[in-house]
Amino acid sequence: MPPVPRKRIVIVGAGFGGMAAVKALKGANADITLVDRTNHHLFQPLLYQVATAALSPADIATATRALLRYDKHTTVLMSEVESVDADRRIVRLADGPELAYDFLILATGAAYSFFGHGEWAKYAQVLKTLADALSIRERLLSAFEWAEECGDPEMIRRLLTFVVVGGGPTGVEMAGTIAELARSTLAWDFKNIDPRSARIILCEAGDRVLSAFPHRLSHYAAGALRKLGVEVQLNEAVNEIDATGLALGETCIETANIIWCAGTEARPAARWIGADAARNRGVKVEPDCSVPGRPEIFAIGDVSSFDSGSGAPLPGLAPVAKQQGAYVGRLLKARLAGRREPGPFRYKDFGTMAIIGRSHAIADFGRFTLTGFPAWLAWSLVHLMLLVDFRSRILVYVNWSWAFFTYGRGARLLTGVPRRPQWQRRAGLG
């Protein structure tokens, strides 16, 4: 009897969902091709710590090939997907060959949305990739360096004003960490300026930060931010962003540093395959994460819109992507082996956490909640264990320990020539 030919599975995206699918497919009768725009798997929950000089890029990212070097049936390609011909079952790469598939898993993630104001992207920085994090780190550290040399009080005020837009976990974590950077790490490093005078503003259009958490935890987080010196502006939407700063309601804030941590939208996978999309452009999927009418195509993680039965799609969290990736991998492995497939996907919510600053965090585990140091400790342990390899765990643990006892940060080098804000260049300072 001739051997059963191996199926071809193409996975687009080497994030949490894509890597979980690869792991679950280990030993399946299939040849897997993993395509990603970068050559690394990134632990996004700690990306803000790279942006604020607490960690180095290599602490939270590992080369995808290194992770899969012993998987002889998985090929890794660093390329950009241009389109998908769902009828012919072909993935077209922007700079490579066409990839034929029997099954396709889309795990391309999401990007930040400026709510129809794409022109704001020119003036506000976002945090989704390592390049984004390094760009923010460069701008943060350079702002203090430029303020030290300029001697103009008005310009110093603008340089040392930092605005974070969005009161979700990323925005809260970013604002709290910038405050600690200014108030503690850099406090005694300059002679002409006082970094502790930096103004950190967190803007949220809703009536509370961390709205996905219970009210008590949101209230605690807002209080912890204010203790760190962060100005929490609620019920105020951003009306305009330009080279001079932003308009928040009726107030204009002059600043050189705007970090956008507000809404997100799925990457254009729905357009590739001609599928129905939700408001955030996520692919609407069946209970088994497949695309309606296309049982050979699956969408997982942030690029999908999965109806959990609660009236709202599952949130764009790493645990959702990991569980969906593992589920689809198990489903395809069973299908290829002719075994009974698992039932519909069910997300297991083990709790959500957010860190506000040193020894301040919140954790919601459903039956009980934590705040303060216990929550911070739980957050630290969970994130250490979720890191993809042992080397990363050791590096992050050492850096965190050093920062906790000394308030120091080990990734403060500026290796390029940062570009000054346009208004500062006009003033003759660059």
Q: Which residues are catalytic?
A: 173
Instruction: Name the phi and psi angles at 20, rounded to 5.
Output: -65, -35
For residues 257 and 162, the answer to whether their CB atoms sit within 8 Å is: yes
Q: Quick one: which of 216, 196, 218, 197 has its CA closest to 207?
A: 218
CB neighbours of residue 48 within 10 Å: 26
For residues 247 and 216, the answer to whether their CB atoms sit within 8 Å is: no
For residues 210 and 369, the answer to whether their CB atoms sit within 8 Å is: no
For residues 238 and 203, the answer to whether their CB atoms sit within 8 Å is: yes
**Beta-strand runs (E) in 90-234:** 90-93, 99-100, 103-106, 110-112, 125-126, 161-165, 199-204, 230-234
CB neighbours of residue 125 within 10 Å: 19
* 3 state DSSP class of 384: helix
Q: Quick one: which of 275, 308, 281 has its CA closest to 294?
A: 275
**175/194 Cα distance (integer angstroms):** 19
Residues 6+ apart with CB under 8 A from 174: 48, 51, 52, 127, 164, 259, 261
Q: Secondary structure of 29-97 in the HEC alphabet?
A: CEEEEEEECCCEEECHHHHHHHHCCCCCHHHHEEEHHHHCCCCCCEEEEECCEEEEECCCCEEEECCCC
Q: Quick one: which of 81, 171, 51, 115 has its CA closest to 411?
A: 51
Q: Which two tokens stand for residue 227?
A: 């203790």
Burial degree of 307 (CB within 10 A; 0-12, 13-18, 19+): middle
- CA separation (Å) from 108 to 156, 171, 323, 348, 378? 40, 22, 15, 22, 29
